[in-house]
Structures are given as structure tokens and as C-alpha cells.
Amino acid sequence: MRLGWILADHLDSTISTTARVHSLHAFTTYLKTLKADIQSSFQSKSILNNIGDSCESALKRLKGIEKRFKRDPTLKLQYAAFLDKYLSLGHMRRMELSIAEETISFYLPHHYVFKTVGQASKIRIVFDAFCRSNSGVSLNDALLVRSTIQQDLISILMRFRFFTYVITADIIKMYRQILMHPSQMRLQRILWRNDPSANVDTYELTTVTYDTASASFLVTRCLKQPNSTLINLLAVQHASFEIFMSMTCSLERIQSTN
């Protein structure tokens, strides 16, 4: 009985007024691209206009990474391969210098971490949205942080126990499935070069970047776009970030969602 009360309490909880306002404000101008990816944009604070120069910090971080590359050539190959794949997937684009200097922008320093997958270690590049510019403001300082709009994980897990058939899935590259609005990509610039003796190139990340303050909201809010399909309904009710867990008493219903 107590389990039922807890579940009911979670299912009946409502989104706060602030969350509703934020949600509406963030997605009144969303659109879909030809690739059927949802396109979104940051919602920023007024301090963005005084965000200052972040290019110097990004360049300093890049040169620090390049010193490590000299000591570890294998790291250099892995790092370059990650960013080359990022570029080939269309998740970042190279900018002409004259264009890159035209508007307010933010340069994200980047570094690496290794994630153990089975017996192997896989490199991941982290884009540092917490790094402060010369004015003392980071990109995350300038972004609005949204309220949670998904159901609590405990609600999904408890419902998971009540049905005969279940489905589980993991969304690959979840954040990078969402394109940023072209006008916002200037806030996700990075510096990179494959050869330390070459000129430093400017790139813009074209998709939602993990570790930015509003990334989780932008991605999860996409599940609630107006859509009448069964897949969309299931995603809203049974997804917790990149983890999807659905359940039903009907095998036919599962087959229809495959």
C-alpha cells in the first residue's frame, strides 16, 4: 500500500510555474531540420553581453594539451581521431577567421578523460563550459538553468515491475542528436589543430554540448514536442535522460513500437 502511495505521489506531481515558463520560452521557436533532428537554442542571461574574451584561455589550454602530446604520441592520435569523428559527423564545423570574429562568442577550452569500457579505455573530449573568460564569466554562468521536466526515475522503476513485457534501450550520443540554432553555435567555439606547427583553426560545435548548464533540459524537453506518435508518447513517459525503459501487458504493443 505504501509503495502505491509513493508512486501516486510521483505521478500526480505537477511542474512548477517557473518550469512551465522556462519550457515555453525555450521552445517557442523550435524547428525540425531535414535530418529530422530537433533544433534548439540556449536561453541566456543579460551578462552574456559582457562575457569578455575567452579565446586566450582556450588557446592556453590547447597549448598545454599539445605539450602532453609530445610525451604521449598515442594520446595525440586518440585525441585527433575523436575530433576528426566529431567533424565528419557534422557535430562541429570549421570557421573562417573573419566570420569567427564578427559577433559575441565563447571559446570552450577542452581536455580529455578516459572511460573504461570492458577491457579497453575509451577517450572522451570534455568541453569546459565552466572556464571563465577575462571578465570572470563562464558560459555556464551566462546560461539559464532549467527545472527538471521529466518524471522521477523512481516512478519509472516502480512501474517497470507491474507489467508482463518490458523494453530497455540506451540512446547513443543523446546530446549530439539535437542541433543548436545556427545563431547560437558561436557560443560553442573551440580551437584545434592537428599539427602544432600549423595555424590554430576555429571550430563551432553544432549540437547540444554535454556539461553546459542547460544541456539536460534542452535534450529532455525535446521529448515533449507536439507529436502524436506512440514512440513520442512512450519517450515522454518512460525515458530518464538517455535511458529508456518501457513496459506493457501486450506483446502486440511492443511489436508496434519496434
- Residue from 200, 181, 222 nearest 41 by CA: 181
- Residue from 186, 189, 193 nearest 63 by CA: 193
What is the C-alpha to C-alpha distance for residues 54 and 178, in angstroms, rounded to an integer?
Answer: 25
Give pLDDT, residue 231: 46
pLDDT in tens, 96-116: 866 556 578 899 999 999 987
Cβ(230)–Cβ(256) under 8 Å? Answer: yes
Binned at pLDDT 50, 70 and 90, residue 236 comes out as: very low
Binned at pLDDT 50, 70 and 90, residue 155 comes out as: confident
Binned at pLDDT 50, 70 and 90, residue 170 comes out as: low
pLDDT in tens, 22-38: 433 443 333 333 344 44
Q: Is residue 131 predicted with pLDDT exceeding 90? A: yes
Cβ(155)–Cβ(239) under 8 Å? Answer: no
Helix (H) or strand (E) holding 252: helix 251-257
Cβ(194)–Cβ(82) under 8 Å? Answer: no
Question: In this structure, what C-alpha cell is assigned to residue 148?
Answer: 527538471
Give pLDDT, residue 29: 35
Helix (H) or strand (E) holding 8: helix 2-12
Q: Is residue 8 predicted with pLDDT exceeding 50? A: no
Q: Is residue 133 predicted with pLDDT exceeding 80? A: yes
Question: Which residue ranges make up each domain of the chain?
Answer: 35-234
Question: What is the average pLDDT across 4-33?
Answer: 40
Q: Distance from CA of residue 80 to its chain's centroid?
A: 21
Taking the model in full, what pTM does it have?
0.70
